[in-house]
Amino acid sequence: MMSYRKLGGSGLNVSAVGLGCMSMSGIYGKANDEESIKVIQRALDIGINFIDTADAYGQGHNEELVGKAIKGSRDKVVLATKFGNTPEGAKGHPDYVRQACDASLKRLGVDSIDLYYQHRVDPSVPIEDTVGAMALLVKQGKVRHLGLSEAAPDTVRRAVAVHPIAALQSEYSLMYREVGEESLPICREHNIAFVAYSPLGRSLLSGAINSLGDLPEDDRRRAHPRFFEQNFDNNIGLVRRVLEIAAEKRIKPSQLVLAWLLAQDDRVVALPGTKHVSYLEENIGAIGVRLGEEDMSAIS
């Protein structure tokens, strides 16, 4: 049975495990649109209501895909998308904010976006100006709530002085904890949800990757330092212990690490991405996993 959590002070309830759609647009090797739409629709069927996309994924392809998948089911979805992460760098100028939002609404085929993130903070534009433009979108009814992605605590503090921020999205997993541990205090202070992307360590923690040969040649992870040869070997050594603990508990590794993440704070929402129904259903199994203090300590 699905579990839901409050999305900060927005008044929205979102599934504790959401669905990140980035991999459906060729980021981690080839994807199939028909299969991806089945994944999104299956997610809605089993109670996942938090669907995450961005205009940067596939240069708009992902938003169009999500729009097709949720057509006729809009009332079941808390829809999140992002702007401002472009090939030329981060963009946060007010004029660009307005243009990006209108383009996303058109691609998604919706009248409003439930959660609109600045995907990357633009260092050339004061955050007050960017969030001010985003706040205007709320007044216009194009956006319901605002979010930031990969924003430092001081930036978040300045942003909330302009308009409430419902969610902060950054990478957080058993393998990568620094940003989560740094950001949770500011989230608690201002009633902000922490949406954890790559909660499975870019699939390393799921046990699905045992060698670099398991990654397609066009997979973007090959350029990530975590997958450089020596780093990869060290990381796989750590993951083996996670696999052992999961086996002892007779659960999947993904369920163990997602349960560990959700137990960090009740404002944390996990956002694993997948383009396969089988992995989607496996991830949802984390909802029913209960970990005691000894378990949490051993896993950590």
Identify whether 117 is a catalytic site residue.
no
Compute the distance between CA of residue 7 and CA of residue 115 in angstroms, rounded to an integer. Answer: 10
Compute the distance between CA of residue 6 and CA of residue 192 in angstroms, rounded to an integer. Answer: 9
Residue 11 CB neighbour total at 10 angstroms: 10
Compute the distance between CA of residue 153 and CA of residue 3 in angstroms, rounded to an integer. Answer: 28
Q: Which two tokens stand for residue 86?
A: 């472009």
Q: Which two tokens stand for residue 256?
A: 């163990």
Q: Angle at the Cα of 186 (from 267 to 178), degrees rounded to 5? A: 80
Within 8 A by CB and 6+ apart from 7, the residues are 13, 14, 50, 78, 115, 145, 166, 167, 193, 269
Q: Which of 28, 57, 116, 279 is catalytic?
A: 57
User: From start to end of 84-202, where are the E strands?
Assistant: 85-86, 89-90, 113-118, 143-149, 167-171, 193-197
Q: Output DSSP code: residue 252.
A: -
254 touches 284 (CB < 8 A): no
Compute the distance between CA of residue 18 and CA of residue 280 in angstroms, rounded to an integer. Answer: 10
Cα 37 versus chain centre, distance:
18
What phi-psi label fits residue 289: left (phi over 0), alpha (psi between -120 and 50 degrees) or beta?
beta
Q: Which two tokens stand for residue 35?
A: 């299969």
Q: Which two tokens stand for residue 39?
A: 């994944």
Which amino acids are annotated catalytic? 57
